Structure 1
Amino acid sequence: MRETAAEVAKLQQLLDAVYPRATEHLRSIIRGPNQLDADAMVRILTGMRVLNLATVTARGEPRISAVDGHFLHARWVFTTAGSAAKARHLSVRPAASAAYVDAERIGVFAHGQVEFLTPEHADFAEIEEYMVKHYGDSPSSWGPDIVYCRLQPTWMVGYGDKATLLAAGVEKKRKK
């Protein structure tokens, strides 16, 4: 967990703003003690998670692919080849959706805008350090055109089953 208190508070504000606007169907599924709050989300989403990332082609056709997602500072970060279709889509249409789902144990869904992080970006060094620690080497060494991306969420919800919340040590903190 690398989030500051301010980042957790900002994430909670987003979750609180989004949930009342969600569809009745979604609210009937993600509700009560299984609805993740920001504290639970940042505690559960540690390490690498296979993230399903949806982008849109120039013709408006949806495309989905998987990336290694890392929830850092309450936002999803991932890398890919600059020549990958998803990178090309995002460079001209940065809107994206992401989902992390582990059976019925946990699900986090987000929509937002993807930003490309270059070595000159203020957050790049910390992200690079994290990635090297996680993978053992820099993703930049994996190919000639690796890009670092971060999803700035404008919409996010999540659920966790009781066992997942207990294992993460957040069940007692949850609102009933």
Structure 2
Amino acid sequence: MLETEAEVAALQELLDKSHGSSTDHLRSIIKDERVLSARDLVALLTGMKVINVATVTAHGEPRISALDGHFLHGTWTFGTDGSAAKARHIKARPAVSVAHVDNEELAVFSHGRAERLDESDPGWEEVIGHWTAHYGSSPLSWGDDIAMYRFYPHWMVGYTANRTELLRDRGITP
């Protein structure tokens, strides 16, 4: 867990605002006892998680891709080859949706924008270092134009069918 107290508080504020502004239908599914808190998410979303990133083509057609995601400082980082269709989509239309679903035990749904990172980003070294430690090689060595992204959510909800059971089974003390 790399999140500061301020980042956890900001994530909690986003989660509360998002859940509170959701439709009645969504709130009927993600009832209060099924809501995951910011502290829950930062404890649960360690290591690599498969995320689904939805982009939009120039013709307004949706596209979805499964990617490696790493939840760092209260948001997702992910990467792809710079020549991939999703990289072109994000460059032209940075609004994306990101979801991580682990059966019915855990789900995180979010909407926001993706921003390509580069060496001038203040968190660049930490992101590349984290990914390198996880995979044993720098993601920058995986191709000629590796695009690394940080996701900036404006809406996010976390869901679990049974919070107490999920946290207990994953060794997390609430």
Deviation string 1:70-117 (CA, Å, 9 cap, x unpaired) is 100011000100000000000010000011001101000010010110
Paired amino acid for 2:169? A
1:166 counterpart letter in structure 2: R
Structure 2 counterpart of 1:110, which letter? S
| 1:83 match: secondary structure | coil
Q: Deviations over 1:11-50 (max 9, x none)?
A: 0010111111101111111112220010001100111000
Q: Distance in 2 between matches of 1:28 and 1:160?
A: 13
- Which consecutive aligned stretches of 4+ in structure 1 deviate over 3 angstroms post-superposition? none
Q: Secondary structure at the match of 2:10?
A: helix
Identity fraction in percent: 53
Q: Secondary structure of the residue that 2:46 maps to in structure 1?
A: coil
Structure 2 residue aligned with 1:13: 13
**Secondary structure, counterpart of 1:147 in structure 2:** strand
In the alignment, which residue of structure 1 is the partner of 2:125? 125
The letter for the 2-side match of 1:89 is H
Q: Distance in 2 between matches of 1:161 and 1:46?
A: 20
TM-score with structure 1 setting the length: 0.94
Segments of 5+ residues of structure 1 without an aligned counterpart are none
Partner in structure 2 of residue 164 of structure 1: 166
Aligned-residue offset at 1:169: 4.7
Residue aligning to 1:103: 103
Measured after TM superposition, the shift of residue 8 of structure 1 is: 0.2
- Following the alignment from structure 1 to structure 2, what is the Cα–Cα distance between the partners of residues 45 and 28? 24
Tell me what 2:141 maps to: 141
**Cα-Cα RMSD:** 1.1
SS in 2 for 1:122: coil
Aligned residues: 172
Cα displacement string for residues 104-144 of structure 1 (whole angstroms, at most 9, x for unaligned residues): 01000010010110012110000011011000000110000
Q: In the alignment, is the contact (CA less than 8 A) between 1:43 and 1:168 conserved in 2?
A: no
Task: Report deviation, 1:157.
Answer: 0.1
CA distance in 1, matches of 2:107, 2:74: 15
**Corresponding position of 2:24:** 24
